[in-house]
Structure 1
Amino acid sequence: MAPKIFIDGEHGTTGLQIVSRLQDRTDIELMSMPAEQRRDADVRTKFLREADIAILCLPDDAAREAVALAADAGTRFIDASTAHRTNPDWTFGFAELSPGQAARIAGAQFVSNPGCYSTGAIALIAPLVAAGLLPADYPVTINAVSGYTGGGKQLIAQMDDAGHDDAVTAAYFAYALTLAHKHVPEIIAHTGIARRPVFTPAVGRFAQGMLVNVPLHLDLMTGNPSMADVHSVLEKHYAQGGVVSVVPLAESAALARLDPEELVGTNGMKLYVCGTEGAGQVNLVASLDNLGKGASGAAVQNLDLMIGA
């Protein structure tokens, strides 16, 4: 019997993307609440409890409520909200994080989907910390730009509709200027860094895509490594290939620019090691689709692990 999958919050940006990825599959049964019953708490509870796996595309409090309604029924969860990303009872849904992580996701009842920015940041930082190359107390700086779909329906309306009451007309804007972005706790929790990073996210006037930059001073790293040393650690960590790939140094060196939209419509992520060998600095860049590996694509990747697809 095909596993029953219920997307709670299927009409939001992430939910719609997940539905589009799953609707034609024959190896699962995709459950969908009738639109007129979306606000019926009893119907929602019934769907949650009957599902084999519920994918939560909800605000944090609603996600916690959904788990409370159906965890005792044996329902397994993939939570795309921020609610459980640092909860030790939940498995972090970044399969490439460390050896055995994919197997842990496959066997878990509770899986927390990473945030889009944190997916890129963790992919770049965690292997360097694990290898001892990046000290845990290094003063990490993260700069990133995302397509505006990452802000959900409200920001999409503000960017697309010039007549919106709170329309955004800028071509590009930085935000989270208080340095308290919601992805920071999971970045700390899943990279092994001990010092809170300075994280400056931004949004560009393009729908999807993302670049996450982590600039590093090599002389502040263990053993004053070369760019090639840094690249080697990342390449070894992601040697299995597949979703995350490390771009060869020569290819990165030949680039005049990086396009945040290069992976739009895909579920992959590319990691670049940029700079000039011998100059003492390196700029690590993760490129991904904020709605692919950064959200909906990651949820489907985790779902496939959990059902053995």
Structure 2
Amino acid sequence: MHSKLGSVIHKQAFPRMRSVVNAALAVVALCWCSAAPAESPPSVRWIVFDFPPFFIEHGPAKGQGIYDRFLNDLKTELPGFDHRLEPGSPNRGEALMKRGEPVCAISRIRTTEREAYSLFADHPYLYILPVELVAGENAQGTLSDYVEDGRLSLTRVLQADAVRIGVIENRRFGQPLDSLIEGALDRHAPSIVSWPADSPSFDALKLITSGRFDAAFVYPSELSTIAGSHRQTRFATYLLREMPSLVPASVSCTHSAVGRAVIAAVDKLPRNRKSVRNLQAAYEALLPSDARDTYRRLLARELQK
């Protein structure tokens, strides 16, 4: 009788004990999973440098450049990454790119040289007006001889060594202008004065006024920033025959695992999203009124292609 009772108790107690043990194991497993550290998102470093009004690294408006704001929006649109800033200069950023570091940039113009060590998003986030030549009064008479149908032939200007043009060392504008500049530098032509600078926002107009050179390459969107202290000096701007009507700017990263992941994520974003529209409006606001009207006309034509 006692053994039968013990057998019944054992049969009834064992399932209950097994349930208790299973529940305890489940709690332990849950606690272990909760305590296990989550995998860190891949880290990407964004190249930034002082380039008002695009990037602003100093002063009360720090971080309020139009590219600063766009980059902040982009970081929100790409939540799967640990976004960090890589302050420096254009030359340092280009060196990091060439070394294949996990870095990206939003302010790059696509060139054949850069494609060898960089990835670019499929679609540009912004079209900008191409660089122009800005000249002081002493050079304007000479340059007028090289204007054809309202545009300056830089090829002829460089061939004749007609004026001295200042250009920041290693700055890229796109083809064929880059090749023309490099060709002049290779033959040590006096028409190109290479100017070392840590930032592309050097005061070109001040250097023209002081006689360092006669003219310089400047984007229309830069003029509003650098021309303020030179309103009494008469400068002339020249459209270049060699440049396209608009230049696309794209997000770019290195050929690294992180770089490929960032570009793939950017390519999935809607092309006409709010951050892009805001950047477009901010860029247009930088342009002089006549250039703004031209830009809008050219942009409408480009977007219809």
| TM band (smaller chain) | under 0.3
Which has the larger Rg?
Answer: 2
Name the TM-score, length of structure 1 as normaliser: 0.28
TM-score (normalised: structure 2): 0.28
